[in-house]
Amino acid sequence: MIKKILIANRGEIAVRIIRACREMGIATVAVYSEADREALHAKLADEAICIGEAPASESYLSMERIISAAVVSGADAVHPGFGFLSENSRFADLCRQCGITFIGPAAEVIEKLGNKQEARRTMTEAGVPVVPGTEEALEDWQEAFGAAEKTGYPMMIKAALGGGGKGMREVYDPADFEEAFRTAQKEALGAFGDGRMYLERLIKNPRHIEFQILADNYGNVVHLGERDCSIQRNHQKLIEEAPSMVLTDKLREKMGEAAVKAAKAAGYVNAGTIEFLLDKENHFYFMEMNTRIQVEHPVTEWVTGVDLVKAQIKIAAGEKLEFTQKDIRIQGHAIECRINAENPEKGFMPSPGTIQDMYLPGGKGIRIDTAVYSGYTIPVWYDSMIAKLIVWGKGRKEAIRKMQSALGEVIIEGVDTNVDYQYEILHNQDYLDGNIDVEFIRRISAQ
Amino acid sequence: MKLDNMFKKSQNLSLNEGEKEQKSEVPEGLLRKCNLCKKVILTEEVENGYYICPKCGGYYHVPAMERIRMITDEDSFEEWDREMRPVNPMRYKGYLEKLKLQQEKTGLKEAVVTGKAKIDGEEVVLGVCDGRFLMASMGENVGEKVARAVERATKDRLPVVIFTASGGARMQEGIVSLMQMAKTSAALKRHSEAGLLYISVLTDPTTGGVTASFAMLGDIILAEPGALIGFAGPRVIEQTIRQKLPKGFQRSEFLLEHGFLDGIVERKAQKETLSRIIKFHKKQEMTENIQKKSPAEQTDKEKGIEKTDGGTEEKRKKRIEAWERVQKSRKSDRPSGSDYIRALFTDFTELHGDRYYGDDAAIVGGIARFHGMPVTVIAQEKGSNTKENILHNFGMPKPEGYRKALRLMKQAEKFGRPVICFVDTPGAFCGIEAEERGQGEAIARNIYEMSALGVPVLSVVVGEGGSGGALALATSDEVWILENAIYSVLSPEGFSSILWKDSSKAKEAAKVMKMTAENLYKQQIVEQVFEEPEELTKENLAVVTDKMDAAMLEFMKTYGALSKEELREHRYRRFRRM
């Protein structure tokens, strides 16, 4: 039974979860850091508990404080959102030990999928295609150099515990291998305290296609179609859309089946995302599985009509999925633009500060998920994403026109944002033609 | 816009009404409060993480068996003398009952656990005190277990490692507990006389009779960061002298500064550090252990290093003035002692302190490997920028520096390690405190003891060889010098001021004093001169050290083959002829 949920997060995702709870009649507990006293999530929740100082390590990443807050407030479940502790298996385990429902998969599943090498092995065994690469983690560069022969160039060196582009290097020429391996390993050691690396064939100019799945406690797994997240800068997604214009019904079915197979192989329960790389010949390869709600979940919500956060809560409460695969119909086209407080002209430097004035668009087919308001001061401590603008149209063209119009209406005064940068992408001919892949931003930046 | 109390709150329902209500609570023992920083922490993190607070990094006391798990190879520990008959020499009321209670509480039989174990494959005899047991106070059984363990180690020729912690003597056992200090110390003395190694690791708190016996008798004394170490407890001292004690008083860092510790080692590095030190002391013949060089280096060596006066024909033509060499020897970017250590040795493990007064940074010393062979290395260090210059006192050692050097040399003699000294000093430090602590005595003692050290001793003058301050590290089998280094009885400035009452005539003095490598070689004060590149820097140091390496290898072979007596006789003759 879930009567009260503690939201172990901040920003727009915390607000998004609180809203779902309000609609469901579930009481909410927000936790906030000292820098977030004026944050929307803290104001909107039924209760709010300050859990520590501004640095995330002292607040949103402090497992013991969040657990204490949950127990003290009598919350019977914790929703971790994304980022912070959302993919921390120890946190999920601690919740379980304290009799608190963790809204997400079991700790063991998070752990298994969080280790890239193990995730890869699980997928290979389940018959899900993976990018050719090394099976064992490597620490010695010379040993890795030997293994590189088999993987083939160009290749990607990746940290076993990597994420967010840290500890990753592309290598095109064997002559550059040693330096690339050493610097990537050094970075990985600094960021994750772990120098285990592995190698992967670099798929030339692929698309990033990910499948949303939902799985309940009774073995039912359904996929909700794909999202095309190819518009990325340094592995940070900027624009996501659903459906992808390159997926035929047949390919969607094939990839969807693979995604379901992947989730089943991992013993997955709750909402999750399977990321694939799709090459020009429509070969797809499993990249990783994200064991949490995604930033870009609204585009899937719009084309399927499923409220993913509510679905997460219901699954955690032990309910069965209310639909089967054949009930899922993809309708229309949705696009999401991430609005970040950053300055694209100064190398995307974060631009925290006070929002003096703000006007956001609305109307049919426009959705805005945000946690900022006029007079709100964006703290320096956290992520620079301040809003998500999502549109829906009957087709891609209509959706693009709507996004162009909506972006043109956004006014945020007081801090720099990437709105104009997004506006330009939405007018780029290649984007309009759907001629996109993960190298898109690099190409237009070079122009 | 302020949002306080602006939103209407939810009207709450619940999912799956009617299901049994689950009650969330934190299970017993999952969380705990750090008694140092007062923050709430996960118990599991403390136990997996070497008993260190994950928030403040503070060290908690470690139960003996956990300590053994942290330090030794898995399943290698064999406990000795676990069952000891309880004693109560004063028939102190309630003592035996108290012991019983402590045994039940801790699962131990006494406050120290002893036995044999392996550390990184090396067999050692181990003793670990456990502060939970009557503050690890030392009574008859504690002393007995330590003494027996040491005796067995002596018999089996094994190194001893003891992790100490103690509140002092065990009052309930009266005078018998005092005698344990003598018993344990005497056993360690025999162990040492047998040429065997003892490492003590001091943990919080090590006080009283344990400090004043086996804790402070290690050949090498290590400590954990921040541990309280002292003879009298701080509270007793405060009450006696009626003064507030300064912050950090009697902590490990304080002891290091005052010369009583070889080093402070963090918990995570302890196993590796112990293993490295133990391996340095494995019994081996001096020269046998010199590893074969890589082929590239061998060809270098094959080219041969002939004893030379360093001056090629061309160089002799464009003679460099003595004064110019003096200036070169003093250049701030000239490599100093520790640069040579880095270039010529591996595994350098610095050891600190003179065990009397302080740790002098003007002299850096420790154990290292030369082609795999353990050696003691001692270097005068100037530092290479202003901040470092100040830290190292511009390479001018104080008495505690010379006493540290001597301590390390005597240690080298005990364990049969050759000694290599790098000389680079303007002179011994000239100041009030240096005289108070006996600068002259310290230098004299070094020269006196070095002259009869039973192991090969080599000194290399790499920069300034300033008078007695240099000789205190150069009473050796051979003295080598770099082309632009100098070695003299006094600085040219001092010389001209004494003899000519004019310190500005240093340039002339430099010439008269015959202090350059070439002069010294001619006078047979030095055995070898090493050529230098035009401008010797850290970057091109290999030009010199490659040749020095080959020459040192020869030195080790030659002198390593001599007996103690032959070495002493050779050194005696070397100085007797001067």
pLDDT one-digit tens code per residue, B336-345 = 899 999 999 9
| B246: preceding bond cis by omega (within 30 degrees) | no
Q: Residues B104, B169: one domain?
A: yes
pLDDT at B305: 43
The residue type of A337 is C
Is residue A98 in a domain?
no
pLDDT at B16: 54
What three-state secondary structure class fits A339?
Answer: strand
Is residue B505 in a domain?
yes
Interface of A with B (CB under 8 A): 1-4, 21-22, 24-28, 38, 40, 43-44, 46, 63-65, 67-68, 70-71, 74-76, 94, 97-101, 313-314, 317-319, 373-375
Q: Residues A239, A185: one domain?
A: no
Q: Residues B136, B37: one domain?
A: no
Q: Residues B128, B251: one domain?
A: yes
Number of domain units in chain B: 3
Sign (positive or negative) of CA dihedral B273, B275, B294, B373: positive
Q: Residues B240, B337: one domain?
A: no
Q: Residues B249, B345: one domain?
A: no
Q: Residues A179, A214: one domain?
A: no
Is residue A117 in a domain?
no
Given B249, B280, B311, the domain boundary residue is B280
Examine the pLDDT at B300 and tell me if it is beyond 50.
Answer: no
Given B256, B280, B304, the domain boundary residue is B280
pTM equals: 0.74
Q: Residues A358, A316: one domain?
A: yes
Given A17, A50, A85, the domain boundary residue is A85
Q: What is the 3-state secondary structure (H, E, C) of B438-464?
A: CHHHHHHHHHHHHCCCCCCEEEEEEEE
pLDDT at B491: 86
Q: Residues B46, B97: one domain?
A: no
Examine the pLDDT at B294 and tell me if it is beyond 50.
Answer: no
Is residue B502 in a domain?
yes
Confidence of residue B416 (pLDDT cuts 50, 70, 90): very high
**Burial, A135: exposed, middle or buried (Cβ in 10 Å; 0-12, 13-18, 19+)?**
exposed
CB contact under 8 A, A97 and B27: yes
Interface mutation target, options B5, B10, B42, chain A, most CBs of A under 10 Å: B10
pLDDT at A117: 79
Angstroms from A3 CA to nearest CA on chain B: 5
Contacts of B29 in chain A (CB under 8 A): none
B130-153 residue pLDDT tens: 999 999 999 999 999 999 999 999
Examine the pLDDT at B318 and tell me if it is beyond 60.
Answer: no
For residue A211, give the CATH number of its domain.
3.30.470.20
Is residue B202 in a domain?
yes
Examine the pLDDT at B302 and tell me if it is beyond 60.
Answer: no
Which stretch, A184-188, B21-25, B250-254, has highest mean pLDDT?
A: B250-254
Is residue A122 in a domain?
no
Is residue A119 in a domain?
no
CB contact under 8 A, B24 and A71: yes
A407-429 residue pLDDT tens: 999 999 999 999 999 999 999 99
pLDDT at A32: 97
Q: Residues B269, B339: one domain?
A: no
d(CA B293, CA A120): 44
B369-388 residue pLDDT tens: 999 999 999 999 999 888 99
Q: Residues A223, A265: one domain?
A: yes
How far from chain centre, in Å, is Cα B221? Answer: 8
Q: What is the mean pLDDT of residues A274-283?
A: 94
Q: Residues A156, A213: one domain?
A: no
Q: Are A84 and B47 in contact (CB under 8 A)?
A: no
Q: Residue A406: which H helix or E strand, with range?
A: helix A396-409
Contacts of B6 in chain A (CB under 8 A): 43
Mean pLDDT of chain B, nearest integer = 89
For residue A158, give the CATH number of its domain.
3.30.1490.20
pLDDT at B20: 54
Is residue A426 in a domain?
yes
Is residue A112 in a domain?
no
By Cβ distance, the residue of B10, B12, B19 closest to A1 is B19
Q: Residues A403, A345: one domain?
A: yes
Q: Are B213 and B184 in contact (CB under 8 A)?
A: yes
Examine the pLDDT at A292 and tell me if it is beyond 90.
Answer: yes
Is residue A13 in a domain?
yes
Q: Residues B425, B550: one domain?
A: yes
pLDDT at A381: 94
Is residue B140 in a domain?
yes
Given A201, A231, A246, the domain boundary residue is A201
Q: Residues A162, A264: one domain?
A: no
This model of the complex carries an ipTM of: 0.74
Q: Residues A434, A404: one domain?
A: yes
A332-349 residue pLDDT tens: 999 999 999 999 999 999
- Residue spans of alpha helices (H) in B266-398: 267-280, 295-302, 313-317, 322-330, 337-344, 386-391
Q: What is the mean pLDDT of residues B354-367?
A: 96
Examine the pLDDT at B308 and tell me if it is beyond 60.
Answer: no
By Cβ distance, the residue of B13, B23, B40 closest to A64 is B40
Q: What is the mean pLDDT of residues B478-496?
A: 91
Structural domain boundaries enclosing B174:
61-280
Q: Residues B352, B371: one domain?
A: yes
Q: Could you tell me how many residues make up chain B?
A: 578
C-alpha to C-alpha distances, B555 to A152, B279, B414, nearest whole angstrom: 51, 23, 20
Is residue B295 in a domain?
no
pLDDT at B22: 61
Structural domain boundaries enclosing A37:
4-85
**Burial, B233: exposed, middle or buried (Cβ in 10 Å; 0-12, 13-18, 19+)?**
middle
pLDDT at B304: 41
Examine the pLDDT at B504 and tell me if it is beyond 50.
Answer: yes
By Cβ distance, the residue of A25, A68, A313 closest to B11 is A25
A163-184 residue pLDDT tens: 666 788 989 999 999 999 999 9
Q: Which residue of B has its CA nearest to A355?
A: B1
Is residue B308 in a domain?
no
Residues of A identified as active-site? 292
pLDDT at B12: 63
Angle (CA) B520 B525 B531, round 5°: 50
**Burial, B237: exposed, middle or buried (Cβ in 10 Å; 0-12, 13-18, 19+)?**
middle
Q: Residues B572, B517: one domain?
A: yes
Question: Of B476, B460, B488, B425, which is closest to residue B545 (Cα–Cα)?
Answer: B460
Mean pLDDT of chain A, nearest integer = 94
Is residue B304 in a domain?
no
d(CA B459, CA B470): 10
pLDDT at B303: 38
pLDDT at B293: 43
CB contact under 8 A, A65 and B40: yes
Q: Residues A282, A138: one domain?
A: no
pLDDT at B290: 58
Contacts of A1 in chain B (CB under 8 A): 14-17, 19-22
For residue A64, give the CATH number of its domain.
3.40.50.20
pLDDT at B346: 92
Q: Residues B141, B196: one domain?
A: yes
Is residue A240 in a domain?
yes
For residue B558, give the CATH number of its domain.
3.90.226.10
d(CA A406, CA A402): 6
B165-176 residue pLDDT tens: 999 999 999 999
Confidence of residue B195 (pLDDT cuts 50, 70, 90): very high
Angle (CA) B201 B411 B565, round 5°: 160
Q: Are B463 and B480 in contact (CB under 8 A)?
A: no
What three-state secondary structure class fits A353?
Answer: strand
Is residue B18 in a domain?
no
pLDDT at B510: 87
Number of domain units in chain A: 3
SS3 breakdown of chain B: % helix, strand, coil, rounded to 5? Answer: 40, 20, 40
Q: Residues A169, A79: one domain?
A: no
Interface of B with A (CB under 8 A): 1-4, 6-7, 9-17, 19-27, 30-31, 40-42
Q: Residues A182, A274: one domain?
A: no
Q: What is the mean pLDDT of residues B16-26?
A: 64
Examine the pLDDT at B315 and tell me if it is beyond 60.
Answer: no
- Residue spans of alpha helices (H) in A273-369: 297-304, 308-316
CB contact under 8 A, A74 and B24: yes
Does A134 or B169 have the greater pLDDT score? B169
CB contact under 8 A, A64 and B9: no
Share of chain B above pLDDT 90, in %: 72
Q: Residues A263, A244: one domain?
A: yes
CB contact under 8 A, B7 and A43: yes
Q: Residues B274, B348: one domain?
A: no
**Burial, B170: exposed, middle or buried (Cβ in 10 Å; 0-12, 13-18, 19+)?**
buried
Examine the pLDDT at B471 and tell me if it is beyond 80.
Answer: yes
Please compute, for residue A402, the number of CA atoms within 13 A of its CA located in the half-sphere on the CB side: 23
